[in-house]
Chains A and B, each alone.
Chain A
Amino acid sequence: MRLLSRTDRVVITLMVLVPLLLVVGLVWLPAAATVLLSGTDWDGIGPLGEIDWVGWRNYDDVVSNYPPFVPAVQNNLLWLAALFVVATPFGMFLAVLLDKELRGSRIYQTALYLPVVLSLALIGFVWQLIYSRDQGLLNGVFGGDTDWYGDPNVNIWAVLVAAGWRHVGYIMLLYLAGLKGVDPSLREAAAVDGASETRTFFRVVFPVMRPINIIVLVVTVIESLRAFDLVWVINKGRNGLELISALVTQNVVGEASRIGFGSALATIMLAVSLVFITLYLWTVMREEKR
């Protein structure tokens, strides 16, 4: 510490304090307030002093007296599985292909990344044109009358296709950036040793890319936990498209103002996220110790 001048110390203190205040003020305080509110029946009207404490009643209602909750949990899990098993590996696969310097690779990149750039409103509109039962492209071309958005057994898959469409582009770009950073001499060495392309990828490139792999994994988990926008645009997260995030919004935002109840849902979501965050941090820290 003796090496640090007075100015240094002031700068360091500021650099620690400002982010700390931001994190506490913008993340931890609201999170704590959400947890507190989840034990009340506040409806957003009246002074804070008049809030009644109802204990676990909101949680009890969520689990036993709120039909959309169970489908929402199932859909969130399904979302995670679909992204993890299909969309993420497919995005990585495309990245590997594009890394081969194919002719027109820029065009493919742009085409695949475009969905990530498009605004949400536009994406909702694009898929409405495709999926609409009476006027949509899919039923128009194939002459079917599948109710893509309305049939609760079908619509979650229809939306997963749309979500995957976006997710693939995102993962592709992340992974492509990582691949470009892999030292070419590693591949050359593998080639000299007579390893096939597949073998080179799984035995050499993939392990080297570990940091990127972890990022991709985390992005996948985060994307599936906070999945919200597409279902909200389609039908506000109802009728087969329930997601916890959409239920929170339905209850808290807007005129409904079931703030206590919505906070209980948000707290449940927070708890689930914490499980994944803990797992991730634990892995990363164990990594660093080694």
Chain B
Amino acid sequence: MAAGNRDSRSRYLLSFGLLLALFVLLFLWNLNSGTVQLTPGEIAKILFTEGGDRTARPIVWEIRLPRILAAAILGGALAVSGFLLQTFFANPIASPFVLGISSGAKLTVALAMIVLLERGLTISSAGMVLAAFAGSMISMGFVLLISGRVRQMSMLVVCGVMIGYICSAITDFLVTFAEDSDIVSLHNWSLGSFSGTSWEQVKLSAAIVFACLVLTLFMAKPMGAYRLGEVYAQNMGVNLHRFRAALILVSSVLSACVTAFAGPVSFVGIAVPHLAKRLFGTSSPLVLIPGCFLGGSVFCLFCDRIARTAFSPAELSISSVTAVFGAPVVILIMAGRRKQAA
């Protein structure tokens, strides 16, 4: 269902070109920012040769590069997860954060961390992802239960936000009673941040996210049909049960992966798909899935750079920055819909 005419195709190419250029630019900008100033030449030397400054080399390879990749991969994952949920609920402000799915994942990860830390064990990356997945599926279950009863999209969002608050409250409760030493890492993580990402985590998240992305691309066709509503989609040959289950599963895995590694990150899931639709001028999933992914990467790279450097040396949580840039977009969406309805 990728649209046909030449105008739209060149617009897609241009938009992808723009996003790629921004991606490269932000990638380099992020690589080059921090307390240790490096020239582009030095960075190139560190990246492509064995040489380079002795102290700068580990900073680039062990701190900056994994963090940048994490921001890019997980940002993309969030945007795609949001796009899937918006398709599922036919609701433009559905996203893992708004529907309380991120908070559910946060709760179970916190629980797993505390339980394991008390026994003197550390939690592995895969364990984090599993815990997060369990949490996001539980939240998702509640959201689905509610969505079966309420037809109004605003009510669904309100319920999602409430689920989010409940999960956050329980998480806070757990954190309060946890051992002091645990709290530091838990607290940082629960605010959301890409800092301290290891290569192992990058590899695992890349594997999960790219697998999901491929699956999502295979769902592009039914997603395209689903834009006309479930009655028409079913008539055109979409197996609704299978399609819905796949959509929920993939979006939960994606948001679980993000929450496990970066904590809850707000607004990316809503803002990016919306901006991507505007940029590409289409809602065709085959275009928007890669578009959202790339857009999410760009958005998170940008926000992470701000989070690191705006009040350096103090670091902001990633969610505060994404909220500053993402929330206005949500307001615009709501305002735009009002206008359309009137």
The reply to whether chain A is a binding partner of chain B is no
Q: A-contacting residues of B (Cβ < 8 Å)?
A: none
Q: B-contacting residues of A (Cβ < 8 Å)?
A: none
